[in-house]
């Protein structure tokens, strides 16, 4: 699996917010074996390199994917991305342009515009979007090489609300890396996303707010691996009626 030419082994991307303590965060990162963690610029101080949190992230040995969480306008998202590039020394950016305050649904119009501006500025954009195929096309035309459709509203833990839409997205963009972002609540949700053919899953709250974040991080990692293996094994199609596993033809007739 590659994102913008960068090969990765783990298909789990982990958020860094809301953990009970820095120690729990580090242990969760280690437990799920992730190679990419996301962090909002708002978690940083103006000093950047001097912040305790930034030093903690560096010690994990993972790649940082800054995000523009909380941005509601194109200008705000672009400015935040530019600041994040300076602080974290990376041109990767998870782009969020929020359009609805309650559902945190992306503003797809602002998202495409911001993606175009950032791509032209040399950023490698990971856009938080919906499962809409037309929006996906526009984002690719804007310069994105990865799409991140939501599973459900951020932090809701509802799982995949539109699996048919995600399945259609996989079929429509067979060569584009797809990462389900937001809404994952349980390991079974993560496994389902991977069984649909998604390339990876990004989650945060499901681990951070679990009763045992370390155990949940490990469970999510295992579920993603199992789901990917299931997809590659080509699961049997669903049927509308029962089909006996033991053929009736050839059974002895007892009279």
Catalytic residue annotation: 94
Instruction: List, as one string, the DSSP characters of 22-84.
Output: HHHHHHHHHHHT-SEEEEEGGGS-TTGGG-HHHHHHHHTTPEEEEE-TT--SHHHHHHHHHHH
Q: Distance between alpha carbon 49 and the CA centroid of its chain, in Å?
A: 27
Angle of helix 108-120 relative to helix 133-141, nearest 10 degrees, comes to: 20
For the four alpha carbons of 121, 38, 89 and 77, in that order, the dihedral sign comes to positive
The Cα 173–Cα 199 span in angstroms is 12
Residue 65 — φ and ψ, nearest 5°? -115, 95
Q: Both tokens of residue 172?
A: 């429509």
Secondary structure of 204-241 in HEC code, one letter for each residue:
CHHHHCCCCHHHHHHHHHHHHHHHHHHHHCCCCCCCCC
Give the number of other CB atoms < 10 A from CB of residue 46. 8
The Cα 131–Cα 180 span in angstroms is 10
Q: Both tokens of residue 46?
A: 């103006």
């Amino acid at each position: 699996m590659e994102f913008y030419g960068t090969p990765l082994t783990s298909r789990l991307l982990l958020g860094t917010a809301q953990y009970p303590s820095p120690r729990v965060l580090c242990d969760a990162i280690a437990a799920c074996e992730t190679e990419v963690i996301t962090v909002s610029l708002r978690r940083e101080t103006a000093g950047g390199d001097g912040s305790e949190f930034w030093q903690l992230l560096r010690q994990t040995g993972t790649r940082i994917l800054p995000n523009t969480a909380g941005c509601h306008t194109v200008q705000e998202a672009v400015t935040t991305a530019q600041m994040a590039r300076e602080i974290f020394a990376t041109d990767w950016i998870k782009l969020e342009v929020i359009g609805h305050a309650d559902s945190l649904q992306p503003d797809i119009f602002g998202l495409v515009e911001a993606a175009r501006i950032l791509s032209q500025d040399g950023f490698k954009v990971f856009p938080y979007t919906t499962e809409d195929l037309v929006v996906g096309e526009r984002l690719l035309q804007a310069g994105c090489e990865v799409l991140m459709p939501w599973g459900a509203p951020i932090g809701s833990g509802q799982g995949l609300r539109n699996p048919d839409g995600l399945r259609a997205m996989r079929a429509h963009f067979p060569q584009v890396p797809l990462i389900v972002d937001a809404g994952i609540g349980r390991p079974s949700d993560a496994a389902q996303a991977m069984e649909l053919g998604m390339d990876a899953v990004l989650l945060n709250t499901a681990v951070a707010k679990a009763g045992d974040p370390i155990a949940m991080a490990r469970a999510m990692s295992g579920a993603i691996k199992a789901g990917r293996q299931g997809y590659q094994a080509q699961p049997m199609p669903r049927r509308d009626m029962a089909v006996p596993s033991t053929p009736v033809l050839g059974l002895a007739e007892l009279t």
